[in-house]
Amino acid sequence: MDIKETLARQLPLYARVLLEKGICLQPGQILVINAPVEASRFAVLLTEEAYKTGAGQVVFNWYCNAASRLRYQYETQDKFETVPAWRSEFNLYYYRKGAAFLSLISADPYAMQGIDRKKIMAWQKAFHRAVKEYSDGMMASRTNWLVAAVPSAVWARLLYPDLPEQEGQDRLWIQLLDASRCLGEDPLRDWDRHLAELKKRREWLTARQFTALEYKNSLGTRLTVGLPEHHIWQGGAESTTRGFLFNANIPTEEVYSAPQADRVDGVVCSTRPLVYNGNLIENFRLTFKDGKVVEASAEKGEDVLKDLLKMDAGACRLGEVALIPYHSPISRMDRIFYETLLDENASCHLALGEAYPTCVENGADLSEKELAEAGLNTSMVHVDFMVGSPDLAITGIRKDGTKVPVFAGGDWAE
């Protein structure tokens, strides 16, 4: 079967996986799809499957990176310091109606290269303030949401520069379907098995209630990450506050929890490039003391990294610790995708910024003050960066000081 025939057969199955095993769309629920204009063909297919699944309404929010770049290039700073009411109301209106939010993304690591970062930071801060109720709700799983990938011409040229444009995009589609466990005869069944395995891992970790994890590898990582009391490991399917399961990322290979914001110490070295706000950061190193980054360096994009760390008081602290075996399916592809959704699922990673409230008992019901008292970090950003390596060792520390191997040689110790 050639690539065209494979895509014709598997893309509808991919759409079903996104709707049934990812966002888990509920009967009569509104579905909001954020999508690049270039993905309109797949978006139509996804819309049809959504209505067949029982969507009450499907609403689109289109975007275009090239047009966004022109806005940053030509508009003055003041245009990025406030958010028009209609723009913020879009998110808030549908969030308050209990809509599900599905975001389709494509990599473009150089989208904002050379653009004034002050404008980008100003818009990020203004937009966060304008839709804080919505973004807090996503982090607390008050409704179901999903991020998934689609090809683009820019992304395909980046990964397959020697192929004709359409051939490159088709090849990228195959890799995305493979990473998303959607090339088999029955992807829905394959996802049931995968989610069951992630559930076993997260339940094992939650039951151990480690007080800290120690990271070591030959790149120079020597990091101790404290974990709060009554923490919970998530990964794969999790429950909304309304009581139904969803899975926020496809693909996903991770189990994750929240570090204790003031108990991270040591040095960690990145192992894959990070794309942040359309800029590339490579080979960086962070030094933590009492939970805070006190030193940061990077071979490329150091200024962008330091801007990130200064976004607010919580941007220089960790909000997530995620465990993924080095020999996971995406890692075995032996490719840098330059898109965090893919790259983070090929490697253990950490995240700077906001912690997920659902990573402590009853966290979705706690106020910001109560979450801080529980040890969780608060920030307007949540930026994952990859730290997994073939020789990464992670050791769990029990309350009595007992040490338990969690990772050895980059993979689960047992």
Query: Cα torsion for 206, 209, 212, 218, to the nearest 10°?
Result: -50
Interval 146-190: pLDDT, tens: 999 999 999 999 999 999 999 999 999 999 999 999 999 999 999
* pLDDT at 309 > cutoff 90: yes
- Quote the tokens at residue 404: 């338990």
Q: How confident is the model at residue 414 (pLDDT cuts 50, 70, 90)?
A: confident
Query: Around Cβ 64, how many Cβ atoms within 10 Å?
Result: 12
* pLDDT at 1 > cutoff 80: no
Strands (E), 206-273: 212-216, 222-226, 238-239, 245-246, 249-250, 255-257, 264-269
Q: What is the DSSP string of 119-162?
A: HHHHHHHHHHHHTHHHHHHHHTTSS-EEEEE---HHHHHHH-TT
Whether 396 contacts 375, CB under 8 Å: no
Interval 227-265: pLDDT, tens: 999 999 999 999 999 899 999 999 999 999 999 999 999
Three-state SS for 335? coil
| Location of structure tokens 């909304």 | 240
If 0-12 CB within 10 Å is exposed, 13-18 middle and 19+ buried, where does residue 165 land? Answer: exposed
Q: Is the dihedral of CA 80, 150, 345, 211 positive or negative?
A: positive
Q: How confident is the model at residue 49 (pLDDT cuts 50, 70, 90)?
A: very high
**Residues in a beta bridge with 286:** 268, 296
pLDDT for 186 equals: 96
pLDDT for 149 equals: 98
- Residues 409, 413, 414, CA angle at the centre, nearest 5°? 145
φ, ψ (nearest 5 deg) of residue 326: -60, -35
Interval 79-96: pLDDT, tens: 999 999 999 999 999 999
Whether 349 contacts 387, CB under 8 Å: yes
Using a pLDDT cut of 70, give the percent of the chain over it.
Answer: 100
- C-alpha radius of gyration, the chain, whole number: 21
pTM of the model: 0.95
**Residues in a beta bridge with 264:** 225
**Residues in a beta bridge with 274:** 281
- The backbone region for 225, taken as left when phi is positive above 0, alpha when psi lies in -120 to 50, beta otherwise, is beta
Interval 361-412: pLDDT, tens: 999 999 999 999 999 999 999 999 999 999 999 999 999 999 999 999 999 9
Interval 99-145: pLDDT, tens: 999 999 999 999 999 999 999 999 999 999 999 999 999 999 999 99
